[in-house]
Amino acid sequence: MHVGILGGTGPAGLGLGVRLAHAGMRVTIGSRDPLRAEEVVAELLAARPEHQLAIEGADNAGAAKADMVVVATPWESAQSTVRGVAESLRDTVVISMANALVREGKEMLALIPPRGSVAAGIQYALPQSQVVAAFHHLPAAQMFDLASGLTADVLICSDWPEATAATSALIERIEGLRPLDAGSLNQAAAIEAFTAVCITLNIHYRAHSTLRLAGI
């Protein structure tokens, strides 16, 4: 499995990329600037000589050629980024991990993007792709540190059952993560907005909490 990450040079994309590569997948970290992606990946690999991670850097167009593609840009640039590579994303599972948030003092607040969620906006921009929302609540630093003991539930939603199943299978391969099917893409609004609550809790309690649902 080859996974591409658009905007993968940020903490979220890099953290997820490390976890995916550690789980045995080939990962392409995408960027607007391929040289930046190559530099970031070289630094990452140099810091982990003990691991054989199949990660490479490329421009976003290169990352969009993968079997599955993750959108890890800031939410405002998610639609324009996927539009720029829409042809490569045709008939592809595209996973949005972007959250529309703003910080006000000690609180993180959720914004309401056009169409209700970032993921719904991406699905609108990519009518020929199977858009999934996932990975919103995973803290980047804990993903990046393979020794952090990361354990978390990952809420997934999509209007495409096969895409939900493919994303669940991807998540199951990552040690410590449990995929949970949260329903249609309509749920992305609540899932994305809940990230504001998770981060506010972390600010209040000076914690690095992850989401775990009891009873399932």
What is the contact surface with ligand NAP in residues (CB under 6 A)?
7, 9-13, 31-33, 36, 72-75, 77, 81, 97-99, 135-136, 138-140
Nearest approach, Cβ of 71 to ligand NAP (angstroms)? Answer: 8
Taking the C-alpha atoms of residue 62 and residue 58, their distance in angstroms, rounded to an integer, is 6
Spell out a b/e string for 101-123, using b for 16 or more CB atoms within 10 Å of the CB, else e. beeeeeebebeebebbbbbbbbb
Nearest approach, Cβ of 62 to ligand NAP (angstroms)? Answer: 12
At 118, list the tokens: 């970032």
The amino acid at residue 76 is E
Choice between 20 and 49, CB closer to ligand NAP: 20
Taking the C-alpha atoms of residue 94 and residue 129, their distance in angstroms, rounded to an integer, is 7
Choice between 6 and 25, CB closer to ligand NAP: 6
Nearest approach, Cβ of 46 to ligand NAP (angstroms)? Answer: 18
Contacts of 173 (CB under 8 A, 6+ apart): 23, 24, 25
Choice between 53 and 85, CB closer to ligand NAP: 85
Choice between 52 and 122, CB closer to ligand NAP: 122
Nearest approach, Cβ of 1 to ligand NAP (angstroms)? Answer: 21
